[in-house]
Amino acid sequence: MAALVGCGLSGLALHGVYDPQNASRTIAEWLLGHPGLVLIRNFHYWSAQLLVLSLSVLLWRRLQPSAAFPPGRLVRVALVLCLPTLVFLIASGHLLRGDADARSFQPLFTALVADLPYFGLFLASLWPGIEANLPALLFHHTISASAFVALVLAASLRRPFPRLSRLAFVACATLVWSLVVSPGLNDGLNRQTNLPWLFLGAQEFLHWQPETMVIVLVGLAALWLAWALPRFSPTSSHRIRLGLLVTAGLYAILTGLGLFWPQTDSGSRHLRWPAGRGDWRLGSIVSPAPASPGASHHPVPVVLGRPEGCLVCHSKITGLGDSHRPEAIGCASCHGGNTTTLDADRAHAEMIRIPGNLSDAPHTCGTAGCHSEILPRVERSIMATFSGVIDVNRRIFGEPVDAAAPPPHVRELKHSAADSHLRQLCVSCHLGQPKEAWGPIGQESRGGGCNACHLTYSPAALEALDRFESAPLLTRKTIPAVHPSF
């Protein structure tokens, strides 16, 4: 109940300043200039997570046939219905972010709702999209579902309101945690998106079998068994409880896989710490003063429909063409970084210093809103693969070549005489060679993926770069004001 009180009060505080018609932009503006609202948002989020975990344990204990104070028939039904209500609260809270993560979660959420018996298709038909439905979703999130959970708790607990000491302890612990760990906001600049943690197990299950109906049926069966436990014999009831615990444990394992060892679009898996744009972020919510004088007093610039904090400090950069000027695509479309902070260290923490290398092109030039259809062609081109040239070069050097094998890729070069010849000459210029130094393409800085053909330094850009690099390292306070063009 203490978690519910904290979650409810913080939610009411946010309700007055949250605009469901511009959800993502509203939250981004909080992150950029309102640490008090960020703290309330964090407190609301972590109180909700604590509520889900503690209420799940409470419901499990109260639904046991051997409970010291077994609930009545009506209260038992309400307790069982609390579980899907909690799932709805987590799902709707994620959707109310209105960011790229919310948009990627919407199809799964809609499919699960549509598979509900009898009224699922009707409910799904009421949900045409995030932008149109967030006001109604906000109402049910803050009023309908929350009030139902509160009423059920009040009816099922011997002490409806928590002790002040317990309320203070939970509030203080949540407050301290909220000061240093924040839920993220995914601006959609790269393809990586995240579901709410409660649905990661469902996503992993769908990788093995694609029918959402199976998940819905398993969930409904678990709810019915939890409600019907007193109707079974003690032996059967014990077996059912054990089966429900095993099912919950397996789902927890699947959730851990989705969180720390997710499957990529290509089907492979990789270990990761949840540190994407929409994941949890470590660090104090109180940022130092912005690097640009007076930056905190500027209105937040909006690029491509999303706030971009980068332009608070970097709006005067010139030299880029019309398509790539900061006013058109911002800074983070190419350089990445964190667009929702005015703290220079955090904003630049994930920045790509020289975008365009093939190793990072999927997150820069090849993102969904830019040149995503061109990048796969570039990666398959002879300029990137050296396809055919490697075999010919090996034949000239008298090295054996397997005619039946597919043409080797430049990444597969070894250290024979023929391959060393290619490494020392041609490969140093090819697209896969990363560009690691500022400046135009030349003998000292070659390759660079997209930069190899599209990077152009004007005389003004060269002069600005020369002034920057000739200055002592400790006195470099601003980057060159003239950017090379593309």
Residues near 435 by beta carbon (within 8 Å), at least 6 away in sequence: 354, 356, 357, 441, 445, 446, 447, 448, 449, 451, 452
The CATH number of the domain covering residues in 2-260: 1.20.810.10
Whole-structure pTM value: 0.79
Among 284, 286, 289, 264, smallest CA distance to 276 is for 264
Q: Kindly write down the DSSP assignment for every residue of 172-187, as one continuous string.
A: HHHHHHHHHEE-----
Q: Output the DSSP codes for 192-258.
A: -----GGGHHHHHHHHH---HHHHHHHHHHHHHHHHHGGGS-HHHHHHHHHHHHHHHHHHHHHHHHH
Instruction: Please return the burial class of 56, using the count of CB atoms within 10 Å of its CB with bins 0-12, 13-18 and 19+.
Output: middle
Q: How far is CA 71 from CA 38, 39, 83, 228, 395, in A?
A: 39, 37, 16, 13, 82
Rounded Cα distance, 83 and 219, in Å: 10
pLDDT tens series, the chain, 486 aa: 678 888 888 888 998 899 888 888 889 888 887 889 999 999 999 999 998 888 888 888 877 777 656 667 787 888 888 888 989 999 999 999 888 888 888 888 888 888 888 888 877 776 656 556 788 888 888 888 888 888 887 777 767 677 788 888 888 999 999 998 888 888 777 667 788 888 999 999 988 888 889 999 999 999 898 888 888 888 898 899 899 999 999 999 999 998 888 887 667 778 877 767 778 888 777 765 554 444 445 567 888 877 788 888 888 888 888 888 888 888 888 888 888 888 788 888 778 888 988 888 888 888 767 888 888 888 888 888 877 888 888 889 888 888 888 878 777 778 888 888 887 777 767 777 788 888 888 766 677 888 888 888 999 999 988 988 888 877 777 788 889 888
Contacts of 246 (CB under 8 A, 6+ apart): none
- By the 8 A CB rule, do 160 and 153 touch? yes
